[in-house]
């Protein structure tokens, strides 16, 4: 048989997983959203129909389409429909300001805004920043809202030929952005991280491998889909043929109800979600009927939290680490069989480490300023850098920030870490969060982990406070567990008994809650500002 003159090159894209699911899993349950269940046949038909409708409505290849939504089946469909139509999805954090939204929509050059009907009030003041139009993700026009409903696009998609949309998967440019994900912008304007079809596909495969996803898994979307595409979960679950369970907000009672109702087996979350879950009355005496694997990242989980979740709720906690710019998953704390017999406290301490590079992330190192590797001593601190196929090619329309991040040919994470003798990485702090007191470096993560060991402490965040003698000293903001009591002086004494005295907080402020992003990360820049306004008393 004669070979073709040109052998087709099939692009690597999560859309390939989507097309396969439409063929192989069409009768399996794909999505559960409240009372709605969709098979993969129904789900993929809806996505293709929406993609065809977007094309017929004027979305052109390379156009940016922004998404402002909770975790719903319609939001999930957008992660397929927009790139299927040739567009680039720009997920928006649901907790930004009008100024932030206007900046992102303008910077991205968004031609379309897809908005959850519950969030139309957030969209109204920024609708004029969208070049073409706003579409409401609903089955009918919302009263008093002049924008069309997404179902009208799906319903009128016949003229856009949904079948041809699936055929076009093989013509995707794998090096073109599938999404542009804007960073939180806590210290400057948000930056648009470009994640290509190839990057998002490889990251999804890393999830399938390291989250051990199978056909039998039921995945609960406790993590906002807008947060780096739900850490890639929007595509990885489909790749495995598993079931998506949509959850608008990660409220403890709703998590428990969803886990029980649908037999959830796997979820992702920031540590704060587990903190809320473990301290909510709905979990008192509760255990899931099927084992649940929680992949925890976004902030280093204290060992005491891991111990509590495994002991009290029977969860399996797996620590993962990454950044928006790395796809996001970068490392995983792979468990080793030889650790099984260790005491619970030792096992929890091992699980609190960030671990080793994932299978498809390339090379992950901890280096000195000259890019030489730190010693595997567990003591020498360096910066985590990475170079691999899941790392962003750069920031959208920001060549200067791209060059700075890629100094020396390695992507600089800004996270400070040590490497243990077994090669496992452990973060000690973010560069901007490191406290320098009298010339000594203090890890805010280390101090927080100690405070978390106190039985009365539910959450703790440590930041630098100005000091006329030492320059900076640690200040802790602490949230107590419901019904618990502890004085600031007692907590300081507790910390001093377990830390070198210069590391212990000089001042502890008890607060009702910590300021957080929508993904559960503590907004330490707000706490640093508060610490500057109310510095520690002289010792």
Domain 250-430 has CATH 3.40.50.12780: yes
Whether the pLDDT of residue 4 is over 70: the answer is: no
**Number of neighbours of residue 6 by Cβ within 10 angstroms:** 6
C-alpha to C-alpha distance for 452 and 300, rounded to whole angstroms: 12
Q: Which two tokens stand for residue 524?
A: 């330490």
| pTM of the predicted protein model | 0.88
Average pLDDT, the chain: 92
Are 223 and 519 within 8 A, CB to CB?
yes
Are both 38-196 and 434-533 of the same fold? no
Q: 40, 14, 71, 68: which is closest to 242 by C-alpha? A: 40
167 pLDDT tier (thresholds 50, 70, 90): confident
- pLDDT tens for 398-416 read 999 999 999 999 999 999 9
pLDDT of residue 160 exceeding 70: no
Q: Concatenate the DSSP letters of all residues of 42-85 into one string.
A: HHHHHHHHHHHHHHHTT--TT-EEEEE--S-HHHHHHHHHHHHT
CA distance 185 to 502: 32
The residue ranges of every structural domain in the chain are 38-196, 250-430, 434-533
Q: For residue 328, say if its preceding peptide bond is cis, omega within 30 degrees of 0.
A: yes
Q: Residue 1 — pLDDT band, cuts 50, 70, 90?
A: low
pLDDT band at 535 (very low <50, low <70, confident <90, very high): low
DSSP string, 259-303: HHHHT--EEEE-HHHHHHHHTSGGGTT---SS--EEEE-SSPPPH
Write the pLDDT tens digit of every residue in 115-154: 999 999 999 999 999 988 999 999 888 888 889 999 988 8
Fold that domain 434-533 belongs to in CATH: GMP Synthetase; Chain A, domain 3 (3.30.300)
Q: What is the 3-state secondary structure (H, E, C) of 324-367?
A: HHHCCEEEECCCCHHHCCCCHHHHHHHHCCCEEECCCCCEEEEE
Given a cut of 90, whether residue 101 has pLDDT beyond it is yes
Spatial contact of 46 and 79, defined as CB atoms under 8 Å apart: no
pLDDT of residue 432: 80
pLDDT score of 500: 81
Q: What is the pLDDT of residue 188?
A: 66
Q: Which fold has domain 38-196?
A: Rossmann fold (3.40.50)
Nearest to 233 by CA among 483, 31, 466: 31
The token duo for 518 is 């929508």
């Amino acid at each position: 048989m004669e070979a073709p003159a040109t052998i087709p090159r099939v692009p690597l894209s999560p859309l390939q997983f989507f097309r396969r699911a439409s063929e192989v899993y069409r009768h399996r349950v794909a999505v559960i959203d409240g009372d709605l269940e969709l098979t993969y046949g129904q789900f993929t038909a809806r996505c293709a129909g929406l993609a065809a409708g977007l094309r017929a409505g004027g979305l052109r290849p390379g156009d940016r389409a922004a998404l402002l939504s909770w975790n719903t089946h319609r939001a999930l469909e957008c992660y397929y429909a927009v790139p299927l139509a040739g567009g680039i999805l720009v997920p928006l954090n649901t907790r930004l300001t009008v100024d932030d939204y206007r900046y992102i929509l303008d910077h991205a050059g968004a031609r379309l805004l897809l908005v959850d009907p519950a969030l139309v009030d957030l969209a109204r003041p920024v609708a004029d920043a969208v070049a073409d139009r706003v579409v409401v993700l609903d089955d009918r026009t919302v009263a008093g809202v002049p924008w069309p409903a997404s179902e009208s696009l799906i319903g009128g998609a016949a003229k856009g030929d949904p079948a041809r949309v699936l055929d076009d998967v093989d013509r995707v440019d794998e090096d073109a952005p599938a999404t542009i994900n804007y960073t939180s912008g806590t210290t400057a304007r948000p930056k648009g991280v470009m994640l290509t079809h190839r990057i998002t596909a490889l990251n999804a495969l890393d999830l399938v491998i390291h989250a051990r996803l199978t056909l039998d898994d039921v995945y609960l979307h406790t993590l906002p889909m807008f947060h780096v595409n739900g850490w890639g979960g929007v595509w990885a679950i489909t790749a495995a043929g598993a079931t998506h369970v949509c959850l608008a907000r990660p409220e403890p009672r709703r998590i428990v109800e969803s886990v029980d109702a649908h037999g959830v087996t796997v979820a992702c979350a920031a540590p704060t979600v587990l903190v809320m879950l473990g301290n909510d009355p709905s979990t008192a005496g509760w255990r899931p009927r099927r084992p649940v694997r929680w992949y925890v990242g976004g902030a280093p989980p204290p060992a005491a939290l891991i111990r509590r979740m495994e002991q009290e709720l029977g969860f399996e906690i797996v620590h993962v680490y990454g950044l928006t710019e790395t796809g996001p998953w970068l490392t995983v704390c792979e468990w080793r069989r030889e650790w099984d017999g260790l005491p619970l406290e030792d096992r929890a301490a091992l699980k609190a480490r960030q671990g080793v590079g994932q299978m498809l992330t390339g090379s992950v190192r901890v280096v000195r300023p000259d890019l030489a590797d730190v010693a595997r001593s567990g003591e020498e601190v360096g910066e985590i850098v990475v170079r691999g196929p899941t790392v962003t090619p750069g920031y959208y329309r920001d060549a200067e920030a791209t060059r700075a991040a890629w100094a020396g040919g390695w992507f600089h994470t800004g996270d400070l870490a040590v490497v243990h003798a077994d090669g496992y990485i452990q973060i000690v702090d973010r560069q901007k969060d490191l406290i320098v007191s009298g010339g000594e470096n203090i890890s805010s993560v280390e101090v927080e982990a100690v405070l978390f060991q106190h039985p009365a402490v539910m959450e703790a965040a440590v930041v630098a406070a100005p000091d006329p003698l030492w320059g900076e000293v640690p200040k802790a903001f602490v949230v107590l567990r419901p019904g618990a009591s502890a004085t600031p002086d007692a907590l300081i004494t507790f910390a001093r008994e377990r830390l070198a005295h210069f590391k212990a907080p000089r001042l502890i402020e008890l607060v009702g809650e910590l300021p957080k992003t929508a993904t559960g990360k503590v907004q330490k820049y707000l706490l640093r500002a508060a610490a500057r306004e109310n510095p520690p008393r002289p010792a």
